[in-house]
Amino acid sequence: MTQRAIVIGGGLAGCGAAYALSKRGWSVDLLEKNSQLASEASGNIAGIVYPHLTTNWIDSTYLYFQGLDYTMQLVDDLRGQGHKIKGEWCGMLQLPREAKDAARLLATPTSLGLDANIVRQVNVAQASELSGLEIQQAGVHIAKGGWLCPPDFCAALASGSNILLNAEVDNLQKIADIWQVHLKNGEVLSAPVVIIANAAAATRFIPQLKLYSVAGQVSLLRAEHSPQLAPLKLVLCHNGYAIPTHDNINCIGATYEREDTGFLSAGQAHRLNLKHLQKFIPTLLDSALEGVTGRLGWRCTRPGNIPLLGQVPEPAGQGYYQKGLYISVAHASRGMLSCPLGGEWIARQIVGEPVDELYDAFSLGKYLRWGRVM
Ligand SMILES: Cc1cc2nc3c(=O)[nH]c(=O)nc-3n(C[C@H](O)[C@H](O)[C@H](O)COP(=O)(O)OP(=O)(O)OC[C@H]3O[C@@H](n4cnc5c(N)ncnc54)[C@H](O)[C@@H]3O)c2cc1C
Give distance in angstroms: CA of 280 to centre of ligand 1.
29
**pLDDT value at position 268?**
93
175 and 227 part of one domain = no
**pLDDT value at position 55?**
92
C-beta of 9 in contact with ligand 1 (< 6 A): yes
The amino acid present at 350, given as its one-letter code, is I
Q: Is residue 141 part of a domain?
A: no
240 and 271 part of one domain = yes
- Rounded to whole angstroms, the maximal C-alpha distance in the chain is 66
**pLDDT value at position 371?**
52
**pLDDT value at position 218?**
97
Given 301, 319, 345, the domain boundary residue is: 301
196 and 329 part of one domain = yes
CATH of the domain at 230: 3.30.9.10
Cα separation, 126 vs 52, in Å, equals: 22
Q: Is residue 91 part of a domain?
A: no
Separation of first and last alpha carbons in the chain: 35
C-beta of 331 in contact with ligand 1 (< 6 A): yes
Residue 8 DSSP SS3: strand
Give distance in angstroms: CA of 12 to centre of ligand 1.
6
313 and 342 part of one domain = yes
Q: Nearest C-alpha to atom 2 of ligand 1 is from which residue?
A: 216
In the chain, the number of structural domains is 2
DSSP 36: S
Q: Is residue 129 part of a domain?
A: no
The amino acid present at 296, given as its one-letter code, is L
Cα separation, 112 vs 266, in Å, equals: 38
Cα separation, 310 vs 312, in Å, equals: 6
Give distance in angstroms: CA of 268 to centre of ligand 1.
23
Q: How many CA atoms lie within 13 A of 97 on its CB side?
A: 6
230 and 280 part of one domain = yes
Cα separation, 54 vs 121, in Å, equals: 14
Give distance in angstroms: CA of 105 to centre of ligand 1.
28
C-beta of 297 in contact with ligand 1 (< 6 A): yes
Which residue in 60, 21, 62 sits closest to 349, CA to CA? 21
Q: Which of 333, 334, 362 best tests ligand 1's pocket when mutated (most atoms within 8 Å of CB)?
A: 333
C-beta of 52 in contact with ligand 1 (< 6 A): no
Given 301, 323, 338, the domain boundary residue is: 301
201 and 309 part of one domain = yes
Given 301, 325, 348, the domain boundary residue is: 301
C-beta of 301 in contact with ligand 1 (< 6 A): no
**pLDDT value at position 316?**
66
Q: Is residue 72 part of a domain?
A: no
pLDDT in tens, 131-186: 999 998 999 999 999 999 999 999 999 999 999 999 999 999 999 999 999 999 99
**pLDDT value at position 2?**
79
**pLDDT value at position 52?**
92
Cα separation, 94 vs 97, in Å, equals: 9
pLDDT per residue, tens digit, the chain (374 aa), is 779 999 999 999 999 999 999 999 999 999 999 999 999 999 999 999 999 999 999 999 999 999 999 999 999 999 999 999 999 999 999 999 888 889 999 999 999 999 999 999 999 999 999 999 999 899 999 999 999 999 999 999 999 999 999 999 999 999 999 999 999 999 999 999 999 999 999 999 998 888 999 999 999 999 999 999 999 999 999 989 999 999 999 999 999 998 877 889 999 999 999 999 999 999 999 999 999 999 999 999 998 899 999 999 887 656 678 999 999 999 999 999 999 999 999 999 999 999 999 999 998 776 655 455 55
CATH of the domain at 167: 3.50.50.60
196 and 178 part of one domain = yes
Cα separation, 288 vs 270, in Å, equals: 10
187 and 236 part of one domain = no
Determine the atom of ligand 1 nearest the C-alpha atom of 215. 53
**pLDDT value at position 23?**
98
C-beta of 39 in contact with ligand 1 (< 6 A): yes
Q: Is residue 130 part of a domain?
A: no
Q: Is residue 124 part of a domain?
A: no
Q: Which residues contact 117 (CB under 8 A, 6 or more apart)?
A: 143
Q: Which of 72, 198, 256 best tests ligand 1's pocket when mutated (most atoms within 8 Å of CB)?
A: 198
* Contact status, residue 289 vs residue 196, Cβ threshold 8 Å: no
Tell me which residue range forms the domain holding 167.
Answer: 4-43+152-209+303-369
200 and 312 part of one domain = yes
Give distance in angstroms: CA of 183 to centre of ligand 1.
20
Q: Is residue 107 part of a domain?
A: no
Q: Is residue 239 part of a domain?
A: yes
Give distance in angstroms: CA of 215 to centre of ligand 1.
11
**pLDDT value at position 372?**
53
171 and 205 part of one domain = yes
185 and 254 part of one domain = no
290 and 229 part of one domain = yes
Q: Which residues contact 113 (CB under 8 A, 6 or more apart)?
A: none
C-beta of 218 in contact with ligand 1 (< 6 A): yes
Determine the atom of ligand 1 nearest the C-alpha atom of 34. 47
